[in-house]
Structure 1
Amino acid sequence: MSAPAAQHAAETATALPYLFTLVGAMLIICFYAGKLIRKTSLPSLIGYMLIGALFGPSFAKFGLQLFTEPVLHSLSFITQVALGFVAFSIGSELSMKSLKRLGSGIVWIIFAESFTAFFVVTGLIYAATQDLPMALIFGSMAPASAPAGTVAIIQEYKASGSLTQALYAVVGFDDGLAIIIFGFAAALAKSLLQAEMPGHVSEGFFAMLKAPTLEIIFSIIVGTVLGFLLAQLVRFVKHSRDMLIVVFGFVTLGTGLSMLWHLSLILTNMVIGFVLVNTRRESLVHKVTAPLLEIMPLTFVLFFCLAGAHLQLNALPSLGIIGLVYILGRSAGLIGGARLGAIFGHVDEKIKKYVGLGILSQAGVAIGLALIVNAEFAGLGAVIDGKAHGSLIGAKVITTITATCIVFEIVGPVLAKYALGKAGELGKATR
């Protein structure tokens, strides 16, 4: 064995015991922290996130940091798999029968909340900065949601009803729409920045849309193929424990292929669940999804603990006027847009009043889009104070989105629980 290989093997052998010890300890601590937090009428996941934050980079100066950057990188697969299960569970709730019962109103809500948030945030950021490329980028971030927070609340409190179904549909489909909106807005912002550069020839607006369009299309194709394959195989599985193995395999496969081919793992796994629920009878779908309900709480403990560890609480002071404008604009856009869509879509009164409150969570997708901006906009545009305009936008977007996601990840689930409670749907699930 070569010297570098031997060193890597030694580091791995040393790291694994630490990782297992840390994960085990965090599971136990987070579980009881969640129980304690729930006594205050807050969701358990707030407790999980607080413990993660306590032992993450935010409190490193107090000597409490157990989740170092290498550790978080090593455990990142847990976050990916957890998101895969969340997406699959969303898809498995979106039967065409239930969507037809909700009617076209759900489509109105999804489009209205996404585009209203985009235009409101874009307008407000432009008014505050007079920087159109920056305003377009922040506006395109606004529709992206974090479905894990909403789904965790629904499952923790066994929510069921028309608002619950509407929330499943909205947080499931609006991420796909968010990626499309981001693709168009980022392409336009890039064109504006390239126009600032002397002698630079733009690659064209529609050429820039190629990547996000292909991401959506291939995510749907891969999810559809895996969904049909899963739907065929589950017919021959008899025991629930065997069913869990098969479903776990498909969700992990869908997640892995999405990461390998740079697809949307949320959209891919959601389509797997969507195909399953719409091609098999309800009793078989229940047999497939029932074992998942047993392991989802474990998944949520790990997911939100790691989400808390990723929170950079020291970024909050850097929010500034842009951060406050983004928080207020996004909240107003999503809530107001959802209500507007519900009015045009003629949905139930409780959906009209509360659906907007259940979709405010924001995390992974938005941060991922911010990282894309930071990488792809570097060096573009006119030079301002020694730095390219695009580089300045990328740095501001990363800082602001990181800080605002902390707010939305804490406030979002709390408001989702409030909305479901006001709608009378908490504790109504029959399975």
Structure 2
Amino acid sequence: MTAMALVWATLPGVAHAANAPDAPGISGELGTVVLLVVVIGVAYVLAHNVVERLQRRFLVVSGAEYLLLGFLLGPAFPAILAFDNVTGLLPIIALAAGWVGLLRGTDFDFTSLQKLDPATWRVVFLHHVLPGLAVGFGAYYFFMDGGWVETTTRNAALSASALACFAAADSTEPFDLLARRYEVSGRLASLLRNGTRLGDIAVILAFGLIFCVFHENAPQAQDYSPALWAWVTVLLGAALGFLFSLFLAGDESDNSRFLALVGIIAFASGGAYFLELSPLAVNLSMGFVLVNFARGGQLLHTTLESTERPMAIVLLIFAGALWQPTPLVPTLVALAGFLAARTGAKWIASLIAGWGTSLR
């Protein structure tokens, strides 16, 4: 109702601006822009409210509304072109990705690891490795021998590796939603949540290796081995973590800590972006050092958790803006194969992980 009231109140003014007789060119363009902004804003509010209701009612977790918003603002939708320069968005995306990487790195503190259920490691290994392998090999076969697309061996291996990481990744949002709805607690809830977070760490490291193996060197630059780039990724994050830990007193206010994190992540993500490495992996390594060696490391983790949702929304919006249309039929075939391979591998991994335990 609030959104409809806003529409009713603003549309007459927008229409007047769009049809002003004194300066039809400028006013018409301004009115069109304002109208588009109002329509997109209302559509976003309505979509967000609908999705929230669906999540609570049908236990559906989705970020499609943010992807759609990014698509409408991106170059693929020429009517608006708010993000017409996609290259200029890459540093912002690197910052948001670095924020997520630092958060996952701060999950890896020694105290929490010592309290983990021993079965967590089996869940992490099986629930992430099997789907990744199934989708990775299946995607490579699809690109090379499926007959749907024409590509090189390097591009096929790169795409298959990225899809393998996407298949291995999980999210804690479904578990959190179930826990809020049904008040789920006990060993199973903590096992799944901890396993998902540790699995994300493994996926980020694997995704960082993709940047090392398929690293693009500048023309006439010396070609370094993937192993060296992997060491640079880990050591760069660790060195920055030790450096910035000297400037954190541990008794800062929440606002001061937030501003410090913005500067830290911007510096680390900028270094990774300049070296064409993964901001996720660099900040993951830095987060591991900060949470274990910096004063007030757990407070950093708390601040990062409180801002996780906004940064995830930023990534979803920019992901929608970066989306480029692809041929429909091969895309649908690849999507169906991805979902089938990932779902089947997850199901098999769950059976194996619970075999011989009380969780079965």
Q: What is the TM-score of this pair, normalised by structure 1?
A: 0.56
Residue 320 of structure 1 is matched in structure 2 by: 329
Are 2:230 and 1:216 aligned?
yes
Contact 1:125 1:326 (8 Å CA) reproduced: no
Q: Secondary structure at the match of 1:269?
A: helix
- Aligned counterparts of 2:170 and 2:314: Cα–Cα separation in 1: 13
Residue 76 of structure 2 is matched in structure 1 by: 58
Residue 161 of structure 2 is matched in structure 1 by: 140
Residue 384 of structure 1 is matched in structure 2 by: none
Change (3 A) 1:55 1:298: same
Residue 301 of structure 1 is matched in structure 2 by: 313
Q: Give 1:50 deviation, angstroms.
A: 1.8
Q: Secondary structure at the match of 1:143?
A: helix
- Aligned counterparts of 1:92 and 1:212: Cα–Cα separation in 2: 26
Are 2:339 and 1:331 aligned?
yes
Give the counterpart letter for 2:160 in structure 1.
Answer: G
Residue 30 of structure 2 is matched in structure 1 by: none
Point out where structure 2 has 5 or more consecutive residues left out of the alignment: 1-33, 181-188, 216-221
Contact 1:231 1:279 (8 Å CA) reproduced: yes
- Aligned counterparts of 1:141 and 1:164: Cα–Cα separation in 2: 24
Contact 2:133 2:164 (8 Å CA) reproduced: yes
Change (3 A) 1:351 1:211: farther
Write out aligned runs for 1:7-406 (5 A): 30=44, 33-41=47-55, 42-43=60-61, 45-60=63-78, 63=79, 65-70=80-85, 72-96=86-110, 97-98=112-113, 100-101=116-117, 102-129=120-147, 133=153, 136-145=157-166, 150=171, 161-178=190-207, 180=209, 210-279=224-293, 284-312=296-324, 315-316=325-326, 318-321=327-330, 323-341=331-349
Q: Give 1:231 deviation, angstroms.
A: 4.0
Contact 2:211 2:278 (8 Å CA) reproduced: no
- Aligned counterparts of 1:136 and 1:351: Cα–Cα separation in 2: 37
Residue 414 of structure 1 is matched in structure 2 by: none
For each residue in 1:274-314, what CA deviation from the matched residue of structure 2 results, as whole angstroms up to 9, or x when unmatched?
22334469xx33322223344333333333222222223xx
Residue 23 of structure 2 is matched in structure 1 by: none
Change (3 A) 1:183 1:258: closer
For each residue in 1:367-408, what CA deviation from the matched residue of structure 2 results, as whole angstroms up to 9, or x when unmatched?
xxxxxxxxxxxxxxxxxxxxxxxxxxxxxxxxxxxxxxxxxx
Residue 392 of structure 1 is matched in structure 2 by: none
Give the counterpart letter for 1:328 in structure 2.
Answer: A
Q: Secondary structure at the match of 1:331?
A: helix
- Aligned counterparts of 1:77 and 1:181: Cα–Cα separation in 2: 19
**Percent of aligned pairs with the same amino acid:** 18
Contact 1:138 1:326 (8 Å CA) reproduced: no
Change (3 A) 1:118 1:271: same
- Aligned counterparts of 2:169 and 2:258: Cα–Cα separation in 1: 20
What is the root-mean-square deviation in Å for CA atoms of aligned residues?
4.2
> What is the count of residue pairs matched by the alignment?
299
- Aligned counterparts of 1:31 and 1:263: Cα–Cα separation in 2: 36
Contact 1:83 1:148 (8 Å CA) reproduced: no
Contact 1:145 1:175 (8 Å CA) reproduced: no
Give the counterpart letter for 2:84 in structure 1.
Answer: E
Q: Give 1:47 deviation, angstroms.
A: 2.0
Q: Which moved more, 1:270-279 or 1:142-151?
A: 142-151
Give the counterpart letter for 1:298 in structure 2.
Answer: P
Contact 2:258 2:303 (8 Å CA) reproduced: yes
Q: Secondary structure at the match of 1:59?
A: coil
Change (3 A) 1:58 1:39: farther
The structure that has the greater radius of gyration is: 2
Q: Give 1:35 deviation, angstroms.
A: 3.0
- Aligned counterparts of 2:329 and 2:95: Cα–Cα separation in 1: 34
Q: What is the TM-score of this pair, normalised by structure 2?
A: 0.66
- Aligned counterparts of 1:303 and 1:140: Cα–Cα separation in 2: 21
- Aligned counterparts of 1:182 and 1:340: Cα–Cα separation in 2: 30
- Aligned counterparts of 2:169 and 2:137: Cα–Cα separation in 1: 25
Q: Give 1:38 deviation, angstroms.
A: 1.6
- Aligned counterparts of 2:355 and 2:260: Cα–Cα separation in 1: 37
Contact 2:123 2:195 (8 Å CA) reproduced: no
Give the counterpart letter for 2:63 in structure 1.
Answer: L
